[in-house]
Structure 1
């Protein structure tokens, strides 16, 4: 099979049939063998019924229905787990991603041997204040922190070699940082392609300004994970050593001053340096404990299901 198209969705019943027709037309005109995997992330509208109808009409259409809304990252994880195409394309279900981009994305993976190609919506039809400016700031911070030089981390239109999606773990809200996860896993040949962005045709956006707040928090998380996930003691131990060093320094100063320099008879507990020494030594010990706990958890962790599937079609 040439291509798996993975489409997470939430309440997009109006756009699904049109999106399917568009993708099928592109696939057939380019003589691709393909599958389209819709992941219904707990929709409360008629999206699942539409997916079932499409799957009955075309066996290339497959569907996964979550028991409730678990988030886009979990939906992508489920789709990646089922995908069988040599190239995996992800796109949103709101018709803002253009299926006409698929053939070129496929060629970049299959013939130019990129591990991952991310879309770049260079010209956008979103609000400048609520989306464009925060997106530019977010992407700048992501580039500086991760070292992956992409202009648009948030673009849902991406192409992957099958090996990439089978060897990365997309969880939490880390779908924004799949290129970073891929790089951390050893897939360093990451490219970018300018893609068309289209105005939303049906419904309303499912993301507000809070996604950028969550995005920056996730950026800190992935920075930590990429550097210290396998060695938490290296971070917490280093911070603990620094704090303990500061605490012992103040303790040494207070001891010398009390024995040799202090002629006023002032109590050590009446001096601010005593509380600085006490606080830093306690904090340093806590950092060490956090590091030890992190190492213990790392060595004893068990994989748990992060979502519950309610129904599937054509698998």
Structure 2
């Protein structure tokens, strides 16, 4: 199979049929063997019924239905696990991503040798205040912290070699930073392609203002994982050792001063240096313990993808 097209969706009943026929037209005109995997992330409209109707007429359609809304990252994780194509394409279901981009993305993976190609919506039709400006800020920060030189980390239209998506784990809210996860896993051939971005034709966006806070927190997480994800003791242990050393130095000073320099002076517990020493040693111990526990967790890590599949069908006739 040449292509697996993974499409996470939530309440997109108006666009699913149009999107599938558009994809099918592009696939047939290029002679691709393909599958389209819809992941219904807990839709409350008729999205699942429409997918079932499409599957009854098209053996290329496969689908996963979640018990409730778990988020885009979990939807992609499930779709990646199901994908069989040599090249895996992800795209949104709202018709803002054009299937016409797929053949060129496929060539960049199979002929140009990229592990991952990310779309770049250079010209966007979103609100400047609610999407464009925050997106530019997050992309700038992501480039600086991760070292991956992409203009648009959060573009839904991406292409992957199959072994890339079988290696990385997309959980939490990490779908925004899949290229960084791929780089951390050793896939350095990451490319970018300017893609067409279309104005939303149906419905409204499913992401609210909370995505700004989540994006910022995810950025901190991805920075930490990039630098210390495989060696947390190097961060927590180092700071813990520094704090313990500072606390020990203050305690040593207080002890020498009380015993040899000024034995008739104030009690040690009446001096501010005592509380500095006590606080530093407590914080140092906690940081050191956090690093130690992090190392233990890494060695006992298990797959804990946070989603529940309600239905999964290959729709074989």
User: Displacement of 1:210 after TM fit?
Assistant: 1.5
Alpha-carbon shift at residue 295 of structure 1 (Å): 2.1
Contact 2:17 2:54 in 1 (8 A): yes
Total equivalences in the alignment? 315
Secondary structure (helix, strand or coil) at the match of 1:64 reads: strand
**What is aligned with 1:246?**
246
Q: For residue 137 of structure 2, what is the aligned residue in structure 1?
A: 137
| In 1, Cα distance between equivalents of 2:57 and 2:309 | 23
Structure 1 counterpart SS, 2:14: helix
Question: What is the Cα deviation at residue 263 of structure 1?
Answer: 7.5
Gaps of 5+ in 2: none
Please give the alpha-carbon distance, in whole angstroms, between the structure 2 residues aligned to 1:260 and 1:83.
Answer: 74
Report what 2:230 is aligned to. 230
Counterpart contact for 2:171–2:305, Cα < 8 Å: no
Q: Does 1:303 align with 2:303?
A: yes
Structure 1 unaligned regions, length at least 5 = none
Q: Corresponding residue for 1:146?
A: 146
Matched residue, 1:208: 208
Instruction: Assess if the C-alpha contact under 8 Å between 2:9 and 2:41 holds in 1.
Output: yes
Whole-Å separation in 2 of the counterparts to 1:19 and 1:255: 75
Please name the residue that 2:221 is paired with.
221
1:118-149: CA deviations, max 9, x gaps? 00111111111111111111011111111101
Query: Shift in Å at residue 305 of structure 1?
Result: 4.5
Separation of aligned partners in 2, 1:147 and 1:25: 38
CA distance in structure 1 between the aligned counterparts of 2:96 and 2:143, rounded to whole angstroms = 24
Deviations 1:135-166 (A, max 9, x none): 11101111111110101011000000111111
Q: Tell me, yes or no, if the aligned pair for 2:233 and 2:294 is still in contact at 8 Å.
A: yes
1:16-95 correspondence to structure 2 within 5 Å:
16-95=16-95
The 5-angstrom pairing of residues 99-114 of structure 1 reads: 99-114=99-114
- Give the aligned partner of residue 126 of structure 1: 126
Q: CA deviation at 1:284?
A: 0.5
CA offset digits 1:76-108 (Å, max 9, x no partner): 011111111111100000001111111110110
Offset at residue 175 of structure 1 (A): 0.5
Q: CA deviation at 1:62?
A: 0.9
The corresponding residue for 2:288 is: 288
Compare 232-241 and 256-265 and name the one that shifted more. Answer: 256-265
TM (normalized to structure 2)? 0.96
**Contact 1:52–1:313 at 8 Å: present in 2 too?**
no
Cα deviation, 1:41-80, whole Å, max 9, x if unaligned, reads 0100000000001111110111111111111111101111
CA drift of 1:264 comes to 6.8
The SS at the match of 2:5 is: strand
Q: Which moved more, 1:31-40 or 1:299-308?
A: 299-308
**Range moving further from structure 2, 254-263 or 32-41:** 254-263
SS in 1 for 2:197: coil
Distance (whole Å) between structure 2 residues aligned to residue 28 and residue 264 of structure 1: 93
Moved more, 96-105 or 256-265: 256-265
CA contact (8 A) 1:135 1:212 kept: no
State whether residues 105 and 159 of structure 2, in contact with CA within 8 Å, keep that contact through their aligned partners in structure 1. yes
Question: Do the aligned residues in 2 keep the contact of 1:109 with 1:116 (CA within 8 Å)?
Answer: yes
What is the CA–CA distance in structure 2 between the aligned matches of 1:112 and 1:302, rounded to whole Å? 35
Give me the CA root mean square deviation.
1.4
Q: Deviations over 1:229-257 (max 9, x none)?
A: 33222221111101001111211222233
Alignment partner of 1:240: what SS?
helix
